Amino acid sequence: MLMRAKLARRAGLCDKLRICNGRLAMDAMSEDAVEKGAVLVVEDDAGTAEQVRETLEQGGWQVIHVDNVDAALEELTTGEYSVVLLDRMLGAEDGLNVVKTAREQGYNTQVIVLSALAEIDHRVEGLDAGADDYLTKPFSRAELLARVQARARAVVPDFPVVKIADLEVWLKARTAYRNGELLKLTPKEFDLLAYFADNRGTLVTRKMLLEDVFRLRIDPGTNVVDVHVHRLRDKLDKGFEPQLLQTIRGKGYVLNEPETA
């Protein structure tokens, strides 16, 4: 569990709301916060950061705040966080660079993007970059806390693996193999595969994918699901037998090993 903020205070290195080694250590953390874990808040607006801090600490979370991309990446590589709350616009920098780099380097911390960019295309961009959720500003404090708690619950146990025929899906490592060959998947393609694997052998509808993988509560009226599933199928099944990802016309998709006659 991340305890650096407490240790820094004990050593007299930082006081409440002072910058400590390029980050803001938030005080007044209860024993519940220690048990729940830490949330990294990446936000360059001081007012929003304070609002988020108050909300999370009232919910029992420990909070560490940074305000730029470089500091966020440093924290991700040196700390242990249950959830990252990531502002999309960090001055002249795009916050999505944080999640893209983190995923490329194998860090699987749950990431929620906070952004005033509220169009469906913006949300899809965030999720495609590797974010797990996308919350638009202004936001409800109650919803923010609920989403953080939901993302923390979504963390999978160490090293679970789903096996279907010669397919292996390593959920914690976010890697997948067919016949021992590594599948080169984008973050969103892996999210899709993990969702299919978790629902293996059962029908997955387009609506389920929109809501549970793309975090869209309304149909954007585009073929975003079809395009991503097509790209996943190309990497998952092309050149391999048997074909595992089946389309059920007019209903959805099923990931399963076909029955042999």
Instruction: Output the furthest CA–CA distance in the chain (Å, rounded).
Output: 72
Query: What's the first-to-final CA gap in the chain, in angstroms?
Result: 52
pLDDT: which is higher, 164 or 105 = 164
Identity at 166, one-letter amino acid code = D
What mean pLDDT comes out for the span 113-136? 92
Burial (0-12, 13-18, 19+ Cβ within 10 Å), 244: buried
Distance CA 27, CA 202 (A): 47
In the chain, list all ranges with CATH 3.40.50.2300: 4-153
Taking the C-alpha atoms of residue 18 and residue 105, their distance in angstroms, rounded to an integer, is 30
Amino acid letter for position 49: A
- More confident call, 37 vs 212: 212
Classify residue 202 as exposed, middle or buried by CB count within 10 Å of its CB (0-12, 13-18, 19+).
Answer: exposed
Nearest to 219 by CA among 207, 230, 229, 208: 207
User: Which residues are CB-contacts of 2 (< 8 A; sequence separation ≥ 6)?
Assistant: 37, 38, 62, 64, 79, 80, 81
Report d(CA 74, CA 258) in Å as an integer: 45
Q: Which residues of 52-90 are buried (b: 16+ CB within 10 A; e: fewer)?
A: bbebbbebbbbbbbbbbbebbbebbeebebbbbbbbbbb
Q: Which fold has domain 4-153?
A: Rossmann fold (3.40.50)
Percentage of residues in the chain with pLDDT exceeding 70?
A: 83
Per-residue pLDDT band at 103 (split at 50, 70, 90):
confident
| CATH topology for the 161-255 domain | Arc Repressor Mutant, subunit A (1.10.10)
User: DSSP code of 241?
Assistant: S
- Tokens encoding 212: 């549970």
Q: What is the DSSP letter of 253?
A: E
Question: What integer best gives the mean pLDDT of the chain?
Answer: 82
- Return the pLDDT at 133: 93
Cα–Cα distance for residue pair 166/163, rounded to 1 Å: 7
Asked if the bond preceding 138 is cis, omega within 30° of 0, the reply is yes
3-state secondary structure of 184: coil
Predicted local distance difference test score (pLDDT) of residue 137: 92
pLDDT digits (tens, 9 = 90+) for 25-63: 433 333 343 346 889 999 999 999 999 999 999 999 999
